[in-house]
Amino acid sequence: MKSKNGWIITRRDFLKSSIAAGLSAAVIGRNLQTAFSNTGLRFGIVTDSHYADADPQFNRYFRESIAKMTECVDLMNEQKVDFLIELGDFKDQNTPPVEEQTISYLQAVERSFQKFNGPTYHVLGNHDVDSISKEQFLQNVTNTDITDRTTYYSFDRKGIHFIVLDANFLEDGTDYDHGNYEWNETYVSEAELDWLRKDLAGTELPSIVFSHQQLGGLGMTDIQNAEAVRTVLQESGKVIAGFDGHNHSGGHNKIEGIHHYTLKAMVEGSGSENSSYAIVEIKPDCSIVVTGYRKAASQDLSGA
């Protein structure tokens, strides 16, 4: 099955990758019957809005991200997607940074984001803690029905299991905090890896993973211990795709049967024509279609 405006993981690809990863055919059949006994699921993704009341720099038009986010949310409401998730670097800061201003930028872009008429979720990016802490970020955003204030978590929707990762740790497991990081020194902590193993062991549903930094082996913007994370995903036999941001140019890779799709950044370029957001559709036949809007990539990658 091919799409002119999206990329597709076929039911055959899903079954093949799941069997290769060690998930039994009986469990696969039960998962698919549970997951796709509905009319399908659609969700919206957006990333790297970097909102701040700051002058443009390096082709990043920080002030324009509120208008771009408003357009994105309006489209998601019109399309009635099941939920909307932003994939990190939600806001930015001034130079020099002022904590109170940074929080006000976070609150402003969150107000725009929360105009979506449905569940909303956030993935933590490095710029989200450039002059505040993870705790301060969580205090100013809403992750629907996630009761614990945690930067990595999971939820189920229409028979699909969704996992949100936090790769904003230094190699020793220390949290990024008030700019205490290098943008390309990014790790998933050992504690989070243990949580991820348990979380995947506790579900029988096909799973989707979200992160800010990349898991797809595309270079400097990858999580440093991405291979260890991918091993957990592959060994579970349940993960069919991952979505991320961080690399503003976007991209796609497929490793061991798992597609990794990177959405282009919203902040790059002036004007609504240079925005970026997408709708991901998981169809009843187990295919996954990504339809990009504005400059976001829409490609048929079913054979990738």
Residue 202 backbone class (left: φ over 0; alpha: ψ -120 to 50; beta: rest): alpha
Domains, the chain, with CATH or none: 11-293 (3.60.21.10)
pLDDT one-digit tens code per residue, 26-50? 344 444 444 444 458 999 999 999 9
Q: How far apart are CA 12 and CA 303, in angstroms?
A: 11
| Look-up of token digits 């243990």 | 194
Residue type, 53: D
DSSP helix/strand/coil, 242 = strand
pLDDT of 264-276, one tens digit each?
A: 999 999 999 999 9
Q: Phi/psi at 63 (nearest 5 deg)?
A: -65, -25
Q: Which strands sit side by side in the sheet containing 120-122, from one edge to the other?
A: 120-122, 83-86, 41-46, 276-282, 288-294
d(CA 83, CA 149): 19
Distance, C-alpha 107 to centroid of its chain = 20
Q: Is the pLDDT of residue 225 over 80?
A: yes
Q: Looking at per-residue confidence, does 299 or 206 come out higher?
A: 206
**Is there a contact between 278 and 298 (Cβ–Cβ < 8 Å)?**
yes
pLDDT tens string 123-164: 999 999 999 999 999 999 999 999 888 999 999 999 999 999
Q: Which pLDDT belongs to residue 37?
A: 44
| Highest mean pLDDT out of 27-36, 179-188, 293-302 | 179-188
Cα gap 239→208, rounded to integer Å: 6
